[in-house]
A and B are shown apart, each in its own frame.
Chain A
């Protein structure tokens, strides 16, 4: 059972990571820096709970806040760079963050041993959860409460004017600014919010794995971050969640049969999905279809259609059964 809770923890954190990229992607900025922000959130939150003995919640928020501030600082120069150059710049930034932590030492002696981040070795003994009596189940619930809160906030934002403004900027900057939108404010805010969410994800990650190091926040993770919203479709937050579940479930299943070929599977999966469904798993058309379906269910049409269909199926099944009976002379 613990295995499934662990899986749900991974899915939860990856969903947050994907959502952090989702917000930024809406404004048309492809950011490969989310893994870097995640790293910042992870180290900050972990240092606060381990070295400064903070309670988990403010530590997570602080991690998110610091990551957000850094993201804001990145957001401004990012304005000068468009499209694919931004991809490269954010990739380089993410790598720079990772290398920074590779060289980062800050240890203090506690209870006879030294704790704290130690360069390439990473940050061990992040034992807040076990020390405070959280079981795997509790941790999973905790993670998912945060995920639910963030998803709700983003869902609400999507339906509000802010969502329309973000998407307008992503679609056509010139038209948006001519409609009175302050591009700088919108794009930097999106980057900041994305950074905060990634920082939260990092803090949660650090605490459930209890040991982090720079290799945990590499280019692959940055790729996962943008893969989820792109694969899932940018029309709403559930697409990202679906993509995370889809990929992680496949990877975990693949893990069983193929050992450590899972990255290969991941790569193949991405290539195939982008060919088969370039608009994402749940693209805008599907969403309209889904809404239409729900609408028609409410109006009783679909129910009627389902009844007719199921009635048809039932009678067909009955005829089949009779034929079998006849065939076997029962």
Chain B
């Protein structure tokens, strides 16, 4: 479904991403881990169209999407969440989800029914999304007034509202306690059950090891290992990247 081909992103002299390649099959959950500064977020930004890569390609469902504008990618079926949540604080929970109801507009619906009927269909979809995230009772609250955990759920809901085929989760567990991570684990699995492929960047090892089918490990912008959670855990290079070499 997703193929990253020899991707590189240089910021002046800094090689944030240096020749990374990996594949993601449909319905898979791929984990992307690595120490801070290894290039994980940069890769997500490139895939999501927020930055153009210095070289390399990104292929989605066989089509080359490198450097395409973000909103076109969302229409094609790629959604993402942000590491530090970027919600529309001054809009209500409902409006936050409403803004993301874009995919429907791309489908060929004649203008007037889209206006009239579209609204009702939106209501259904947003209602379902609110139920899924457990935020139905906070429908008309401003996003800025939600608790942190609720904001994270809204962030995920907003990404899902675009009905993506692929979702990029950028450190969704940051700042969560054990119970919230447990719920997140369940939600990620539910997302996959809904037919969405997941690329998950995380630092929380327990979560990644538990939920990911395969894991790719980055260090200093390069991929140093890839495989099942068990394989990656026992890989010497990975241990060296995180813990340093024994002197």
Are any A and B Cβ atoms less than 8 Å apart in their complex? yes
Which residues of A (153-193) have their CB < 8 Å from a CB of B? 160-161, 164-165, 167-168, 171-172, 174-183
The answer to whether A161 touches B101 (Cβ under 8 A) is: yes
A271 to B16, CA, bound (A): 47
A284 at the interface (CB under 8 A from B): yes
B74 at the interface (CB under 8 A from A): yes
B70 at the interface (CB under 8 A from A): yes
The answer to whether A180 touches B88 (Cβ under 8 A) is: no
The answer to whether B50 touches A164 (Cβ under 8 A) is: no
The answer to whether B71 touches A168 (Cβ under 8 A) is: no
A182: chain B residues at CB < 8 Å are: 69, 71
The answer to whether B98 touches A164 (Cβ under 8 A) is: yes
The answer to whether A172 touches B103 (Cβ under 8 A) is: no
With A174-B50, A284-B90: A179-B122 Cβ-Cβ less than 8 Å: no
B11 CB, nearest partner CB in chain A, Å? 17
Q: Determine which of A174, A181, A284 lies in contact with B99 in the assembled complex, contact meaning CB atoms within 8 Å.
A: A181
A183 to B49, CA, bound (A): 13
B90: chain A residues at CB < 8 Å are: 167, 171, 284
A182 to B100, CA, bound (A): 11
Total residue contacts A-B, CB cutoff 8 A: 72
The closest CB in chain B to the CB of A181 belongs to: B71
A169 to B178, CA, bound (A): 34
B214 at the interface (CB under 8 A from A): no
B86 at the interface (CB under 8 A from A): yes
Q: Which of A165, A177, A180 has the most CB of B within 10 A?
A: A180
B59: chain A residues at CB < 8 Å are: none
The answer to whether A179 touches B158 (Cβ under 8 A) is: yes
The answer to whether B102 touches A180 (Cβ under 8 A) is: yes
A161 to B99, CA, bound (A): 7
Q: Determine which of B88, B95, B100, B161 lies in contact with A172 in the assembled complex, contact meaning CB atoms within 8 Å.
A: B88
Q: Determine which of A160, A168, A177, A183 lies in contact with B88 in the assembled complex, contact meaning CB atoms within 8 Å.
A: A168
| Contact code string B69-99 (vs A, CB < 8 Å = 1, else 0) | 1110011000110100011111100011011
Number of interface residues of B (CB under 8 A): 30
A178 to B75, CA, bound (A): 10
The closest CB in chain A to the CB of B95 belongs to: A164
A167: chain B residues at CB < 8 Å are: 88, 90-91, 95
Q: Determine which of A160, A164, A165, A175 lies in contact with B86 in the assembled complex, contact meaning CB atoms within 8 Å.
A: A175
The closest CB in chain A to the CB of B90 belongs to: A171
| Contact code string B145-183 (vs A, CB < 8 Å = 1, else 0) | 000000000000011011000000000000000000000
B43 at the interface (CB under 8 A from A): no
A26 CB, nearest partner CB in chain B, Å? 11
A180 to B119, CA, bound (A): 18
A160: chain B residues at CB < 8 Å are: 119
Q: Determine which of B69, B79, B91, B159 lies in contact with A168 in the assembled complex, contact meaning CB atoms within 8 Å.
A: B91
| Contact code string B201-212 (vs A, CB < 8 Å = 1, else 0) | 000000000000
The closest CB in chain A to the CB of B81 belongs to: A178
The closest CB in chain A to the CB of B102 belongs to: A180
The answer to whether A180 touches B91 (Cβ under 8 A) is: no
The closest CB in chain A to the CB of B118 belongs to: A161
B48 at the interface (CB under 8 A from A): yes
A165: chain B residues at CB < 8 Å are: 99
A164: chain B residues at CB < 8 Å are: 88, 91, 95-96, 98-99
The answer to whether A175 touches B87 (Cβ under 8 A) is: yes
Q: Which of B71, B79, B98 has the most CB of A within 10 A?
A: B71
B159: chain A residues at CB < 8 Å are: 179
Q: Determine which of B75, B95, B96 lies in contact with A180 in the assembled complex, contact meaning CB atoms within 8 Å.
A: B75
A168 to B101, CA, bound (A): 13
A183: chain B residues at CB < 8 Å are: 71
A172 to B99, CA, bound (A): 12
The closest CB in chain B to the CB of A182 belongs to: B71
Q: Which of B69, B86, B122 has the most CB of A within 10 A?
A: B86
The closest CB in chain B to the CB of A170 belongs to: B90
The answer to whether B70 touches A177 (Cβ under 8 A) is: yes
B161: chain A residues at CB < 8 Å are: 179
The closest CB in chain B to the CB of A284 belongs to: B90
| Contact code string B15-54 (vs A, CB < 8 Å = 1, else 0) | 0000000000000000000000000000000001010000
B82: chain A residues at CB < 8 Å are: 175, 178
Q: Determine which of B50, B79, B91, B102 lies in contact with A181 in the assembled complex, contact meaning CB atoms within 8 Å.
A: B102
Contact surface of A with B, Cβ cutoff 8 Å: 160-161, 164-165, 167-168, 171-172, 174-183, 284
Contact surface of B with A, Cβ cutoff 8 Å: 48, 50, 69-71, 74-75, 79-80, 82, 86-91, 95-96, 98-103, 119, 122, 158-159, 161-162
Contacts A164-B91, A181-B71 known; list 4 others, CB within 8 Å: A161-B122, A174-B86, A175-B88, A180-B70
Can you report 18 residue pairs joining A to B where beta carbons are below 8 Å apart?
A: A161-B99, A161-B119, A164-B88, A164-B96, A167-B95, A168-B88, A168-B95, A168-B96, A174-B50, A174-B86, A175-B87, A177-B71, A178-B70, A178-B79, A179-B74, A179-B158, A179-B162, A181-B99
